[in-house]
């Protein structure tokens, strides 16, 4: 075996070892929860078709019986998406309050460049993607890199000869990214791996790997002869340009058994409705004729013959009560407000003030719980941005001492009506 072949074998083994740290089964289960088309109610091995006895008469007049499979109703619900999207909107639907107190020109310029960087990257949308991903997928990463853009610094004399600005994108399992962080004993990121696939000109999927450390970004590609280095280059930041966040449990994992029962009840109820929707007619005795008088039809019968509808006397009240109770429990367990017009009817005419605060109270408590990891994530982002901007614009390097404290601002009804719940007088040095 040649030296080159030995290196390839060693590289392949190392990459396979890294790849094994990603729990495919775990994230496939989370995706199945998120994608209502993959719910158990659509699985024919779990919710089986009905077997119906069919009696037929052949040409000779002989009766034959057979069983026939008939499709059942399969009603799924996107409850997970509703809950996660609601929490996302309450957490970052209003831009986080970036509290800052710049004391020097360098710090003021640093703050200005951070604001501009966020604006160019549409950070509001990034925040929503990040929060939605971590609540549903349990992990998310934000990757930053430099691009040339001289126009970014027009009108900023302090920028000197700076020609590059920052860009970012979001990585997460549902987007096809298999993320493997390597942390040291202190929990700091030492290396980061991203497995993903791209299509070549013929539409064939090609597996790739990005390895990011404090100095370089190295991209590998898997070909017919195994893994090879596609390219490697320094990123120039001196620290890993990845902001990573992971939680132990997705927001809606606690309601899975209830959501499955909801779908079962809805589907069974639909089956029952289909079976009993069209009335069945019971005829006793013999009909002798039919007379039509205008729109009235008269049946002629002999003797004690009789005709009547066979009605379904069962009540669905128990199923409907259980269904409503389960839905309420799903929302209450995740501290999610039910804010549809129908749900708000119970408030009567008190659709403002204390009533709305009561409706949103659970969501606001949940936002404060989420802030434990979202706030830490945002703090790491701003720490990186200060470091990276200082490298691109040396004249503001002293601005790295700028103190930034991102605080989540839970959505309130005032925001939707254009009225701020904050004091009319803005705080000095705050970034709204």
* pLDDT number for residue 203: 87
| CA angle centred on 373, ends 355 and 120, rounded to 5° | 90
Backbone phi and psi for residue 75, each to the nearest 5 degrees, phi listed first: -105, 115
* pLDDT number for residue 102: 96
Q: 262, 83 in Cβ contact below 8 A?
A: no
* pLDDT number for residue 310: 65
How many angstroms separate the CA atoms of 137 and 26, rounded? 10
- Domain presence at residue 305: no
- Domain presence at residue 54: no
Structural domain harbouring 88:
3-38+76-252+354-419+426-431
Q: 283, 299 in Cβ contact below 8 A?
A: no
What distance separates the 2 farthest-apart alpha carbons in the chain?
108
Low-confidence ranges of the chain (pLDDT < 70): 1-9, 277-279, 287, 291-294, 296, 309-315, 340-356, 413-432
Structure tokens at 144: 């930053």
* pLDDT number for residue 171: 98
| CA angle centred on 400, ends 118 and 106, rounded to 5° | 85
* pLDDT number for residue 327: 96
Measuring CA to CA, how many Å separate 245 from each of 105, 180, 251? 33, 12, 15
Measuring CA to CA, how many Å separate 226 from each of 9, 206, 219? 8, 12, 14
- Domain presence at residue 334: no
Q: Residue for token digits 């064939």?
A: 204
Look at the pTM and tell me if it is higher than 0.95.
no
- Domain presence at residue 162: yes
Region of 242 on the Ramachandran plot (φ > 0 left; ψ -120 to 50 alpha; else beta): beta
Structure tokens at 161: 């000869």
CB atoms under 10 Å from CB of 92, counted, come to 27
- Domain presence at residue 363: yes
Q: 209, 182 in Cβ contact below 8 A?
A: no
* pLDDT number for residue 306: 76
Domain count, the chain: 1
- Domain presence at residue 361: yes
How many angstroms separate the CA atoms of 423 and 421, rounded? 7
- Domain presence at residue 267: no
How many angstroms separate the CA atoms of 88 and 411, rounded? 10
In sequence order, the β-bridge partners of residue 196 are 208
- Domain presence at residue 218: yes
End-to-end CA distance of the chain: 63
């Amino acid at each position: 075996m040649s030296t080159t072949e030995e290196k390839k074998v060693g590289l392949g083994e190392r990459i396979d070892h890294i790849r094994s740290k990603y729990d495919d089964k775990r994230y496939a289960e989370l995706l199945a929860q998120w994608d209502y088309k993959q719910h158990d109610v659509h699985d024919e091995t779990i919710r089986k078709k009905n077997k119906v006895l069919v009696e037929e008469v052949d040409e000779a007049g002989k009766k034959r019986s057979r069983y026939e499979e008939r499709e059942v109703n399969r009603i799924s619900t996107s409850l997970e998406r509703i809950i996660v999207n609601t929490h996302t909107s309450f957490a970052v639907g209003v831009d986080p309050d970036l509290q800052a107190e710049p004391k020097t020109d360098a710090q003021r310029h640093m703050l200005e460049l951070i604001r501009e960087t966020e604006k160019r990257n549409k950070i509001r949308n990034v925040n929503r993607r990040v929060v939605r991903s971590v609540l549903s997928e349990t992990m998310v990463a934000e990757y930053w890199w430099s691009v040339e853009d001289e126009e970014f610094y027009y009108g900023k004399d302090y920028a000197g000869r700076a020609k590059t600005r920052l860009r970012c994108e979001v990585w997460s399992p549902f987007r096809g990214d298999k993320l493997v962080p390597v942390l040291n004993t202190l929990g700091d990121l030492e290396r980061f791996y991203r497995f993903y696939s791209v299509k070549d000109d013929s539409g064939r999927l090609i597996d790739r790997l990005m390895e990011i450390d404090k100095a370089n970004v190295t991209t590998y590609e898997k070909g017919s002869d195994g893994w090879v280095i596609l390219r490697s280059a320094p990123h120039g930041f001196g620290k890993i340009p990845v902001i990573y966040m992971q939680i132990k449990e997705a927001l809606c994992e606690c309601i899975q058994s209830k959501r499955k029962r909801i779908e079962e009840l809805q589907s069974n109820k639909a089956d029952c409705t289909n079976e009993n929707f069209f009335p069945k007619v019971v005829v006793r005795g013999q009909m002798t004729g039919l007379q039509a008088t205008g729109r009235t039809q008269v049946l002629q019968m002999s003797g004690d013959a009789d005709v009547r509808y066979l009605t379904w006397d069962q009540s669905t009240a128990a199923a409907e009560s259980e269904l409503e109770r389960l839905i309420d429990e799903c929302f209450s367990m995740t501290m999610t407000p039910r804010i549809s017009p129908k749900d708000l009817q119970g408030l009567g005419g008190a659709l403002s003030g204390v009533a709305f605060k009561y409706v949103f109270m659970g969501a606001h408590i949940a936002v404060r719980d989420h802030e434990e990891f979202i706030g830490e994530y945002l703090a790491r982002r701003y720490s990186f941005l200060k470091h990276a901007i200082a490298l691109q614009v040396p004249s503001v390097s002293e601005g790295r001492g700028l103190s930034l404290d991102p605080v989540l601002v839970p959505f309130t009804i005032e925001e939707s009506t254009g009225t701020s719940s904050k004091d009319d007088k803005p705080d000095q040095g705050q970034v709204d």
